[in-house]
């Protein structure tokens, strides 16, 4: 396990404060990402304030993550140390149900794993998000940054992992174009 420092809320009305915790052990298909930037989403605020009535404290929010791969598991094929990587809201799923087999993990019939405040399938605790130094994620749920983003302002790219893709997905699905 890797000791990590993040920013956590300990109670629903508490400010975020430094919080030390253990990241899970690297699995064969995992990548360890040193976080460079993490966007701030309204969902983070809802969760921290327990406005959806399901928050488990302490909570380390953050699901719009841009970082650099620091370590790869023995069976990782898509990433190498030093690659720029991105992580969005979903960091795991059962992988076996119909939805997962159709690459629709957001509809996982068993329950997908969120970047933060989800039951952690590798421990008795919950997942901690991107308001931290690093994160461990299965390579299937990590994205390469497209070449055109490599010279972009990475702080501005991070919000694309939630708000950006949410909007883009709907436009793409309905084939919305100019005009």
Please tell me the number of Cα atoms within 13 Å of 124 on its side-chain side: 0
pLDDT value of position 2? 84
pLDDT of 122-151, one tens digit each? 888 999 999 999 999 999 999 998 878 878
Q: How many residues does the chain have?
A: 179
pLDDT tens-digit readout, 8-29: 999 999 999 999 999 999 999 9
Helix, coil or strand: residue 62: coil
CB 155 within 8 A of CB 65: no
pTM above 0.85, yes or no: yes
Residues contacting residue 75 through CB under 8 Å, at least 6 positions apart: 28, 29
Name 67's bridge partners.
35, 85
């Amino acid at each position: 396990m890797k000791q990590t420092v993040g920013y956590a809320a300990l109670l629903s009305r508490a400010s975020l404060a430094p919080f030390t915790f253990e990241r899970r052990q690297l699995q064969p298909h995992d990548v360890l990402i040193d976080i460079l930037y993490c966007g701030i989403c309204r969902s983070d605020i809802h969760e921290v304030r327990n406005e959806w009535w399901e928050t488990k404290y302490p909570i380390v929010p953050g699901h719009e993550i841009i970082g650099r791969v620091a370590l790869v598991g023995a069976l990782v094929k898509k990433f190498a140390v030093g690659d720029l990587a991105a992580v969005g809201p979903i960091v795991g799923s059962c992988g076996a149900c119909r939805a997962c087999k159709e690459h629709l993990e957001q509809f996982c019939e068993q329950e997908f794993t969120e970047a933060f405040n989800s039951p952690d399938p590798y421990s008795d605790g919950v997942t901690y998000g991107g308001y931290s130094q690093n994160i461990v994620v299965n390579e299937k749920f990590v994205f390469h940054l497209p070449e055109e983003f490599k010279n972009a302002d990475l702080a501005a790219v991070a919000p694309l992992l939630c708000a950006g893709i949410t909007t883009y997905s709907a436009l793409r699905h309905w084939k919305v174009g100019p005009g």
